[in-house]
Amino acid sequence: MANVPTDLRYTEDHEWARTASDTVRIGITDYAQKQLGDIVYVELPKKGDRFEATEPFGSVESVKAVTELYMPVTGTVTAVNEMLNDSPEDVNTDAYGDGWLIEVKVADRAQLDGLLDAKKYQAYCEAEAAG
């Protein structure tokens, strides 16, 4: 099974959210990067862009497919991981560290409570894998 840190919240679209003070760092899960294969390009929004929860905010291109990224919460982008422009493979090698995608200032922190915890996300992935 994929690595599922217990300190994060998850979406059924395989994004993770890590809270830090008034911002949330967002990335794709280890499960997602394994399904995608080698990531060759990441398209991310600009700092200051605002998105609603579940709205697409970018995409990840792998050798297999191009996959849209979806916002786990409503908020405004405060930081973008510019390192991924030169090293998109960081998403494969360190999905929960150097492979983070964006940080957002959350409009409503209560939305985080609606995301899956690690146990529920892991069960969701196992059910999805079993097909």
Give the pLDDT confidence of 48-86 residue by residue, as tens digits. Answer: 999 999 999 999 999 989 999 999 999 999 999 999 999
Strand, coil or helix: 49? coil
Query: Considering only CA atoms, which of 73, 70, 83 is closest in space to residue 104?
Result: 73
What pLDDT is attached to residue 129?
87
pLDDT, mean of residues 11-38? 94
The average confidence (pLDDT) of the chain is 95
What pTM did the predictor assign? 0.95
What pLDDT is attached to residue 1?
58
Query: Considering only CA atoms, which of 111, 46, 112, 42 is closest in space to residue 79?
Result: 46
Looking at CATH, the fold of the domain delimited by 9-125 is given as OB fold (Dihydrolipoamide Acetyltransferase, E2P) (2.40.50)
What pLDDT is attached to residue 61?
97
Contacts of 104 (CB under 8 A, 6+ apart): 23, 24, 26, 51, 71, 73, 75, 76, 77, 78
